[in-house]
């Protein structure tokens, strides 16, 4: 019942952040390229409505 005693314990080690796998990196790069192309197409489709799809 003596709970006011300080216990000295080692701190827990933080979990190491694992680097992203090469496959996941490639998927993110491809997704970014596709989204970039879609954004450019949408921009030109909205700013030049008569020439979209040329």
- d(CA 42, CA 49) in angstroms, rounded, equals 10
- pLDDT attached to residue 30: 98
pLDDT tens track for 21-38: 999 999 999 999 999 999
Confidence label for 51 from pLDDT (cuts 50, 70 and 90): low
Kindly list the domain boundaries of the chain, sorted by start residue: 21-47
Angle at 25 (CA atoms; ends 21, 29), nearest 5 degrees:
170
- pLDDT attached to residue 2: 62
pLDDT tens track for 3-19: 777 788 888 888 888 88
Strand, helix or coil at 8? Answer: coil
Average pLDDT, the chain: 85
């Amino acid at each position: 019942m003596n709970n006011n005693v300080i216990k000295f314990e080692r701190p827990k080690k933080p979990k190491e952040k694992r680097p992203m796998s090469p496959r996941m990196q490639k998927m993110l790069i491809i997704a970014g390229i596709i989204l970039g192309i879609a954004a450019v197409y949408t921009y030109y489709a909205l700013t030049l409505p008569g020439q979209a799809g040329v």
